[in-house]
Amino acid sequence: MTTAVDVRGLGSGAAPARWLRVVPDTVTMAGRVLRLARRDPDELLVALLLPVMIMVLFVYVFGGAIEVGTDYLSYATPGVILLCAGYGASNTAIALVQDASTGIMDRFRSMPVADATVLAGHVLASTGKNLVTTTIVLAVAASIGFRSDAGALAWLGAVGVVTAYIVAITCAATLVGVVARTPAAAGGLGFVMLFLPYVSSAFVPPETMPAWLRGIAEHQPVTPVIETVRGLLIGLGSDGAPVGDLGATAAVALAWCAGIGVVSLTAAAWVFARRGR
Amino acid sequence: MDDPVVRAEGLYKSYGGTRRPVRVLDGVDLRLGHGEVLALLGPNGAGKTTTVRVLSTLTRPDAGTAVVAGHDVVTAARRVREVIGLTGQYAAVDEKLTGRENLAMMARLAHLPRRAVRARVDELLEAFDLAGAAGRQLRTYSGGMRRRLDLAAGLLRHPRVLFLDEPTTGLDPRSRHGMWDVIGGVVADGTSLLLTTQYLEEADRLADRVAMIDGGRVVAEGTPAQLKREVGDASVELTFAAVAEATRVASALGVPTPAARVLRVPTDASVGHVRHVLAGVEAAGAVPEQWQLRAPSLDDAFLALTGHAARGADDREPVEVAA
Ligand SMILES: Nc1ncnc2c1ncn2[C@@H]1O[C@H](COP(=O)(O)OP(=O)(O)OP(=O)(O)O)[C@@H](O)[C@H]1O
Ligand SMILES: [Mg+2]
């Protein structure tokens, strides 16, 4: 093998500053995840159909029977966004387990890339995918009559909070992905992610729940996220009454997202660095 | 060899927690000189993969030290990662990416200069006879092609030390020979190579030195020639209908009397000698039910060199004979 391309000596001392490589390496990792997802017809199909199915289910099947004081489509759309994001995040956990079940994770770790970039690549790719899904949900909602008279700033805020939620649960999914041993176990996260929005103000007002469930609903992270997004987009609270100042709710929502994100990503990086040792 | 590129001393590793630990490495010592090829030869469960994982920074040893290209694998893991290439026992490639996409991604992660990525990927695809399949997804590749691509991915940056964990296990004889040629080319380029294998023949073909490993310890070490001298030659293995017939042929050929229907006649595996043996069988008027040329197995080698059978092995499949 003659060497036409001289790449020798790259590793000998003159290594580029490591932190300069974190961003491009993360982008490369994310590009890989996205490319693999694009080539998985099942995942693509589900990602496209799920928003439509859930929307139809809630608006046309349940919607007629649920009384929320406003039109149910507007009420439920933020919840559907979160449901779909939860599904996307659970896919990330499964993808991580699958990576670990082949030799590819070992190859990455034997290369001069920071461990964190493997995880960060998944988070970045998953966030991108889920934002696309979010757009699809909104498009479906708009096509069946969802209207919002929110201004650009309110929309920006809503997208920001949804993005924060997506990043947070993706980080949680990353933790599950590095702890779980089998794809089935990682899939268990999907269950939790799909369950949380149901026990929140996403689809029914918590006031209608029994006291104990209501306690859970009012103190779990999905509720402030939903309240903020709904308040920003349609100006109503979970009881269907107009909301005033959303600042406090938004702060609680963002605090939850930041907390979940930082704790789970730190834990995931810790586990990842020690796994297989 | 005063200044080896890989030096491991007293590596210990146990798995299974503190309650019921299983000792997988039990004091492994190794040396690999610059430009040298060392084969780690051992049966299933001997600790080959674990040794490679320690040396390639993937696993921390419980005790002992390992230095690769002057860097400690535990305290300077990142430095080590800059100078090694690893192709593990299990495929480290993406089935749904094409050959070219797989290599290009690894090239970027190996921090090749942007301009160099394409040319280097093309060069490796060409050298490993994968240029024609470069645009196909890996799930359409044969086992041999996949292994070659996996190997290429470990070579993108001309590693100073290359680790290959069982590079030909599971390949058919033709792909195996192809892989050997490819590996030979890499070694001729000056790369120091540590490979693991379960095949005596592979170690003989590729290695300058062989370390036999069993039960987490290096139990014998030497050049392939030394090992072969001690293990002995190949044999013509003849199976007869009855012990009596085998005994008759044994005395006709002047070899020790067998205790069973199977007679083993040592041979240097040359055409002339094999023909001589078979002619002797015919002259004795015996007709074997079947016969084959059999290389010494890993078990034979362990028995010859350590006086006991390998602990983990069950590797008595007929091996091809290198004539
Ligand atoms: N992460 C782990 N946890 C528990 N046991 C392990 C782990 N890795 C390896 N082992 C055990 O250590 C022993 C040696 O394993 P190793 O993979 O190093 O052997 P090997 O020589 O590579 O074998 P093979 O030829 O089958 O690849 C085996 O008994 C294996 O089950
Ligand atoms: Mg192994």
pLDDT tens track, chain B, 323 positions: 468 999 999 999 998 877 788 899 999 999 999 999 999 998 888 999 999 999 999 999 999 999 999 999 999 999 999 999 999 988 899 999 999 999 999 999 999 998 899 999 999 999 999 999 999 999 999 989 999 999 999 999 899 999 999 999 888 888 899 899 999 999 998 899 999 998 888 998 999 999 999 889 998 898 888 877 777 778 888 999 999 999 999 999 888 888 889 898 888 888 998 999 999 999 999 899 999 988 777 677 777 776 666 665 443 334 344 43
Distance, CA of A201 to CA of B219 (rounded, Å): 67
Contact predicate B295/B234, CB 8 Å: yes
Q: Which amino acid is at B32?
A: L
Smallest Cα–Cα separation from B56: which of B217, B194, B214, B209?
Answer: B194
Query: Is A207's Cβ below 8 Å from some Cβ in B?
Result: no
The neighbour count for residue A39, using CB atoms within 10 Å, is 15
Separation in Å, CA of A12 to nearest CA in chain B: 7
- A113: nearest CA partner in chain B: B109
**A3 contact residues in B (CB cutoff 8 A):** 123, 158, 189
**B90 contact residues in A (CB cutoff 8 A):** 102-103, 106
pLDDT tens digits along A169-192: 999 999 999 999 888 888 887 777
Contact predicate A178/A271, CB 8 Å: yes
Q: How far, in Å, is the centroid of ligand 2 from the Cα of B41?
A: 11
Interchain contact, B110 vs A5, CB within 8 Å: no
The residue whose CA is least distant from atom 16 of ligand 1 is B47
B265 - beta bridge partners? B236
Residues with Cβ within 6 A of ligand 1?
Answer: B 15-16, 24, 42, 44-50, 89, 198
Smallest Cα–Cα separation from A120: which of A15, A24, A263, A259?
Answer: A24
Q: How far, in Å, is the centroid of ligand 2 from the Cα of B162?
A: 16
Smallest Cα–Cα separation from A233: which of A119, A115, A137, A105?
Answer: A137
Length of chain B: 323
Phi, psi of B247 (to 5 degrees): -65, -40
Smallest Cα–Cα separation from A183: which of A95, A72, A265?
Answer: A95
Which ipTM value was assigned to this complex? 0.83
Interchain contact, A103 vs B88, CB within 8 Å: yes
Length of chain A: 277
The residue whose CA is least distant from atom 17 of ligand 1 is B49
pLDDT at B317: 39
Which atom from ligand 1 is nearest to the alpha carbon of B213? 21
pLDDT band at A69 (very low <50, low <70, confident <90, very high): confident
Smallest Cα–Cα separation from B157: which of A186, A6, A254?
Answer: A6
pLDDT at A75: 86
Question: Who's near B313: CB < 8 A, 6+ residues apart?
Answer: B43, B44, B214, B298, B299, B302
- A3: nearest CA partner in chain B: B123
Whole-number Cα distances in Å, A174 to A94, A128, A182, B59: 9, 15, 14, 22
Smallest Cα–Cα separation from B167: which of B57, B40, B61, B51?
Answer: B40
